[in-house]
Amino acid sequence: MIAYLIRRIMYAIPILIGVNLLTFALFFVVNTPDDMARMQLGIKRVTPDAIAKWKEQHGYDKPLLYNAQAKSSGKLTNTIFFEKSASMFVFDFGYSDDGRNISREIQTRMMPSLAIALPTFFVGLLIYITFALLMTLFRATALDIAGVALCVVLMSVSGLFYIIGGQFMASKMWHWMPISGYAGGLDSIKFVVLPIIIGVAGSVGSSSRWYRTIFLEEIGKDYVRTARAKGVSELRVLFRHVLKNAMIPILTGVVVVIPLLFMGSLLTESFFGIPGLGSYTIDAINAQDFSVVRAMVFLGSVLYIVGLILTDISYTVVDPRVRLQ
């Protein structure tokens, strides 16, 4: 198991280098440091001197990928690419364009993101699976058909509608919840309830339908027929046999998402004015702050890879037949 984990982590390194190369190519080759300097300085003050100075200040006064003038290994290390990406591997993201330490920003903004993402995730999982189990229990009856129809309608509604509609209802009609903003500590509860409800409602359609398909796949198998033949009640079949055996496909889809919860939700956070990582990213996108976007891309892919590894480990927990080697 340990050997397996180490090997997986080693595999992650070339992938992360690939991610870095890609974002680097996107940002620096299409948009050269000269262009960045011009954009940051504004049109009026653009002189060659000013550009050179800006580049020096921000560490862009080196060749992009390959430094022909440097010696031996310096040919590769004394470049913008190496300097900007090597530090990322130890999670030092440098400074954003307005001079703040990105790593510290990420640390402080993580909590609000988690305060919304974690409850949304777990409450959602509970509701979706319950709904899907109910549909499976009443399968091929009018209730099931109505449930599936409802799911299809819900999944055809734009996510923006849930957010805008929910925000409007809460603010105009009920007056019991702040529409946006955030406070630390226990006060945060009243700020996060609405985003959580909307987050859960937003994917109830697609998720429940997906779980229903998984359960239906299992319920057609022989062991279920055997259990029923033994006289096990239908509810017990569902919970003890079907749910347990459906765990592998469920985990495949679910565990990958858990680490990404840190990233928050771009839309929800910016709509509700929550100072989390999602709104941080959106602000950076709108301000064209590339160092922040690059940091978030890197963080996102690290978390995704962690998610993949966690998925494999979770298989060993639910299915004793799986051994990681």
Partner 1 sequence: MMPVILWTDALIFLLIAVGIASAWWIRHRPHLMLPWQRVARSSVGMVSLLVLSLFIMVGVLDTLHYRAALPEKNNGQTVYSPEVLSAFDALVSGLRNRTEKTYSAPLAAYLYAKESIETPDGKLLRDYPRLKFGGAHLDNPERELAGDVFKRTLLGTLGGLLVALLLTGGVVKLYPATRKSKPMGAVFIAALVISGVIGAVANLTLAYHVLGTDKVGQDVLYLSLKSIRTGLVIGTVTTLVMLPFALLLGVAAGYFRGWVDDVIQYIYTVLSSIPSVLLIAAAVLMMQVVIEMHADWFDLEAKRADVRLLCLCLILGVTSWTGLCRLLRGETLKLREQEYIQAAQAFGVSSFRILTRHILPNVMHIVLISVVMDFSSLVLAEAVLSYVGVGVDPTTISFGTMINAARLEMGRDPMVWWALASAFGFMLVLVLAANLFADAMRDAFDPRLNRTEGVT
Residue ranges binding partner 1 (CB under 8 A)? 14-15, 18-19, 22-23, 26-27, 30-31, 35, 39, 139-140, 152-153, 155-161, 164, 168, 216-217, 219-220, 260, 263, 266-267, 270, 281-282, 285-286, 288, 290, 293-294, 296-297, 300-301, 304-305
Minimum CB separation of residue 170 from partner 1 in Å reads: 12
Angle at which helices 159-168 and 188-202 cross, to 10°: 140
Minimum CB separation of residue 212 from partner 1 in Å reads: 11
C-beta of 5 vs 152, nearer to partner 1: 152
Q: What is the dihedral of CA 293, 294, 299, 304, to 10 degrees?
A: 90
Minimum CB separation of residue 68 from partner 1 in Å reads: 26
Q: Name the token pair of 225.
A: 């027929």
C-beta of 115 vs 296, nearer to partner 1: 296
Minimum CB separation of residue 16 from partner 1 in Å reads: 8
C-beta of 14 vs 231, nearer to partner 1: 14
C-beta of 73 vs 156, nearer to partner 1: 156
CB 230 within 8 A of CB 217: no
The 8-class DSSP code of residue 263 comes to G
CA dist 209 → 144, 153, 173, 220, 239 (Å): 11, 11, 31, 17, 18
C-beta of 67 vs 200, nearer to partner 1: 200
Helices (H), the chain: 2-24, 33-41, 48-57, 74-77, 80-86, 102-137, 142-156, 159-168, 188-202, 204-219, 222-229, 234-236, 243-245, 247-254, 257-260, 266-272, 277-286, 290-318
Minimum CB separation of residue 126 from partner 1 in Å reads: 24
C-beta of 70 vs 313, nearer to partner 1: 313
Distance separating alpha carbons of residues 41 and 153, to the nearest angstrom:
49
Greatest extent of the chain over all pairs of C-alpha atoms, in Å: 85
Minimum CB separation of residue 206 from partner 1 in Å reads: 9
